[in-house]
Structure 1
């Protein structure tokens, strides 16, 4: 029989109880955002805005400065994405789903890794910062990939699968257990979003 770490289970239950209905609300709104985005609905962006307002505060208090900064950035991108997807005259699907060539993705990944390393190296000089390189990686690629989402680049979903996997590792080690549940759901929804957008792109 595989031994069960009762102390870990107790800690998870404790974190769910004390860590807040705020985190649960933010996670729920985050899931709603991805569901609506996968359906190509512009109303995903108001849900994202509300979720990121809450997460900006939570991550700042949890000493994850890059995640707090990332969610502050998301607030602005939520406004940008809503305007872009709705269009000036509220015409739906103004921005068409598109794809990018391999050369673009090679440059994209290389730039993201270099920037992540530089930011992680800087953050590592602050002893109070947790997991600086992982924090930086998740932040940098999330920033870059949110732009791809707003511009309806279909490969954004593939990047989110990778980002969400690393984010789960980050939040597991820093105690944001409700957020782990959200990002696990994100993994499934990212696969759904890619397949659905691919179908829509082929129409």
Structure 2
């Protein structure tokens, strides 16, 4: 464990907790976490996850802007349910993108788990986009992704990060329950 990894863990945990509470402040906190984790993953040769942190940093701006538009008087954002077709297309596109990225990582990098790294990155982008759009289903994506990331990070020797992702599973369940209580169809 390094101080860099510890800082990334703390910012990430705070960001996910704030997200579950539907607080707009989650986005700048997640931006800092993304920058820190970009460096952690680069050092661990998890290149798809490194690039993912760059995507997350960009999506933090989008999420922040989108959530500011959806804030209610109580200071929390409105939760939405997308049409089924949006959800199916998102899952299919993420799966295809993950496989293509995995093939590229296998061929051109020394990533020790290219397909898993790529698929988890692709589905993380889906989860982040759906979170930015305030879709309840984002928490289901995060539950699956976080369980699998916990195992990947244990294999890569990132024990503190694996512990964080195990905690993310609990936080995702919490977020699901909190958001489900205020969901509205599109």
TM-score (norm 1): 0.83
Which residue of the other structure, out of 106, 122, 136, is the alignment partner of 1:154? 136
Distance of 1:105 and 1:88 partners within structure 2: 20
Equivalence for 1:70: 52
In the alignment, the residues of structure 1 paired with residue 146 and residue 174 of structure 2 have an alpha-carbon distance, to the nearest angstrom, of: 14
* CA distance, structure 1, for counterparts of residue 173 and residue 98 of structure 2: 25
Work out the CA distance in 2 between the residues paired with 1:62 and 1:127.
13
Superposed counterparts of 1:3-14, under 5 Å: none
**Residues 1-203 of structure 1 aligned to structure 2 (within 5 Å):** 19-87=1-69, 92-93=75-76, 96-126=78-108, 128-201=110-183
> Is the CA contact 2:70–2:78 (under 8 Å) kept in the aligned structure 1?
no
Number of residue-to-residue matches in the alignment: 183
Structure 2 unaligned regions, length at least 5: none
Q: Which runs of 5+ in 1 are unaligned?
A: 1-18
Once the 2 structures are TM-superposed, how far is the Cα of residue 90 of structure 1 from its aligned partner? 11
Q: In the TM superposition, what is the alpha-carbon distance from 1:73 to its structure 2 partner?
A: 1.2
Where 1:160 maps in the other structure, the secondary structure is helix
Q: Distance in 2 between matches of 1:183 and 1:192?
A: 14
- List per-residue Cα deviations over 1:165-194 (Å, max 9, x = no partner): 111121111111111111111101111101
1:162 match: secondary structure = helix
Q: Secondary structure at the match of 1:98?
A: strand
1:83 to 1:128, Cα distance in 2 relative to 1, 3 A: same
Say which SS state the counterpart of residue 124 (structure 1) adopts.
Answer: helix
Q: CA RMSD in A?
A: 2.0
The structural deviation recorded for 1:106 is 2.5
Q: CA deviation at 1:108?
A: 2.0
Q: Provide the rounded CA distance (Å) in 2 between the counterparts of 1:89 and 1:187.
A: 26
TM-score of the superposed pair, with normalisation by structure 2:
0.91
**SS of equivalent residue, structure 1 residue 164:** helix
User: Which of the two has higher C-alpha Rg?
Assistant: 1
